[in-house]
Amino acid sequence: MVDAPVPSPPPQSAVQPVAVVASPPVVPAVPVDRRVQKQVRKLGVGDATRTGGGTLFTEQVLVVNQKAKLFERRAEYGVFDQHGRNLGGVRELGASMSRLAVGRENATKRLQIVDAEGRPLLMLTRPATMLKSNVTIMREDGSLVGHIIQESLGVLASLLGGKFNVRFRMEADGVTLGAINAEDWRAWDFNLQDPHGSEIARITKTWAGFGKENFTKADNYVLEMHRPLEDPLLTLVVSAALVVDTVLKQASDGSRRIR
């Protein structure tokens, strides 16, 4: 006798889990300043293919715009990249008692550089002066970066064909790392050079608009670096663009004189 075969149950198909595709996080759009974009276009320094790291020290184009005030007591500046995104700012701190002896413009000035979130990065100090300026740059931890030292006054530069335009040197640990040269006696624009005389960056003043130019003390500048730089020269170059309006003063006749 042979038992009848027992039929096997049909194979159960494996149940495949349904993959759940997570939606990408919604990234809020970064606000941009259209006026900054217009400034960059007018100068022809913007390059959409050239992108940086989104910080004060990783962008090769910085736009420095002073906040317009009818009565300026403490200078404030906003700093943007070439696309109009906010990267940080500069704010003047306190009031020095030295203004009683040398006047407000020549008194000691202290500028704090902050990032886009308002965190302090650098402290720039220009002691009270009657002739030449000497700006000290320090990191927030108190370590010294270097100095921007004025070498010429620009006196009679307009009569001597610009031979003696205002000039500064950038130095760290007693070593000269570069120079900042005014391109005309009014000291509107500057070229920055390395120790070998090669241009590494430019600082150019831009038109702030009729209302700002005539009724406020707002000044706008664009810094364009021609190649990546390393510290401490990088920090000195960025600082130069942020203090150029602190060590120079626009006189009522439109010319520039040393503060």
Cis preceding linkage at 9, omega within 30: no
Is residue 3, in this structure, part of any structural domain at all?
no
Rg (CA), the chain: 27
Give tens-digit pLDDT for 82-94: 999 999 999 988 7
CA-CA distance, 109 to 242, in Å (whole number)? 13
Is residue 225, in this structure, part of any structural domain at all?
yes
Question: Residue 81's closest CA among 222, 201, 204, 208?
Answer: 222
Identify the residue with better confidence: 201 or 67: 201
pTM for the whole thing?
0.75
Is residue 12, in this structure, part of any structural domain at all?
no
Is residue 20, in this structure, part of any structural domain at all?
no
Residue 143's φ and ψ, nearest 5 degrees, are: -80, 145
Identify the residue with better confidence: 249 or 184: 184
CA-CA distance, 22 to 123, in Å (whole number)? 45
pLDDT band at 213 (very low <50, low <70, confident <90, very high): very low
Is residue 172, in this structure, part of any structural domain at all?
yes
Task: Please list, in sequence order, all residues whose beta carbon lies within 8 angstroms of the beta carbon of residue 187, skipping any fewer than 6 positions away.
Answer: 154, 165, 166, 248, 256
Lowest mean pLDDT among 48-57, 73-82, 107-116: 48-57
Is residue 8, in this structure, part of any structural domain at all?
no
CA-CA distance, 51 to 30, in Å (whole number)? 15
Question: Residue 39's closest CA among 179, 218, 226?
Answer: 218
Beta-strand relationship, 167-172 and 199-206: unpaired
Identify the residue with better confidence: 125 or 9: 125
Count of domains for the chain: 1
Give tens-digit pLDDT for 144-186: 999 999 888 765 544 454 556 888 999 999 999 999 998 876 6
pLDDT in the model for residue 251:
36
pLDDT band at 252 (very low <50, low <70, confident <90, very high): very low
Is residue 180, in this structure, part of any structural domain at all?
yes
pLDDT in the model for residue 50:
66
State the burial class of residue 48 (Cβ atoms within 10 Å of its Cβ: 0-12, 13-18, 19+).
Answer: exposed
Q: 72: domain range? A: 34-258
Is residue 156, in this structure, part of any structural domain at all?
yes
